[in-house]
């Protein structure tokens, strides 16, 4: 079960995201994304979404769970 809290995310490079506990101001997790992030991250509730450009030129959307940073869905864009 995920800890309840207020989380946000920060893009640290073109493929690295830090998950931040917004009430404490500390990084609680990090997620590396395969490909280059071209849109996002966008936080909604206990999830965040990014759109990535893959090496073959295709675009892939990824939805992650907060605060764990685990992928819960992916979709072609």
- The domain locations on the chain are 7-76
Quick check: 56 pLDDT over 50? yes
Note whether 2 and 47 are within 8 A (CB). Answer: no
What pTM did the predictor assign?
A: 0.88
Fold (CATH) for 7-76: Thrombin, subunit H (2.40.10)
Quick check: 1 pLDDT over 60? no
Query: What single-letter DSSP state applies at residue 53?
Result: E
Note whether 38 and 56 are within 8 A (CB). Answer: no
43 token code pair: 């936080």
pLDDT at 4 (0 to 100): 72
Q: Give CA–CA dist 8/21, Å, rounded.
A: 7
* pLDDT category of residue 28 using cuts at 50, 70 and 90: very high
């Amino acid at each position: 079960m995920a800890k309840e809290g207020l989380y946000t995310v920060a893009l640290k490079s073109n493929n690295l995201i830090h998950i931040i506990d917004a009430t404490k101001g500390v990084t609680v997790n990090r997620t590396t994304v395969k490909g280059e992030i071209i849109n996002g991250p966008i936080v909604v509730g206990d999830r965040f979404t990014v759109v990535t450009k893959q090496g073959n030129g295709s675009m892939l959307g990824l939805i992650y769970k907060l605060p764990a940073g685990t992928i819960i869905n992916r979709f072609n864009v």
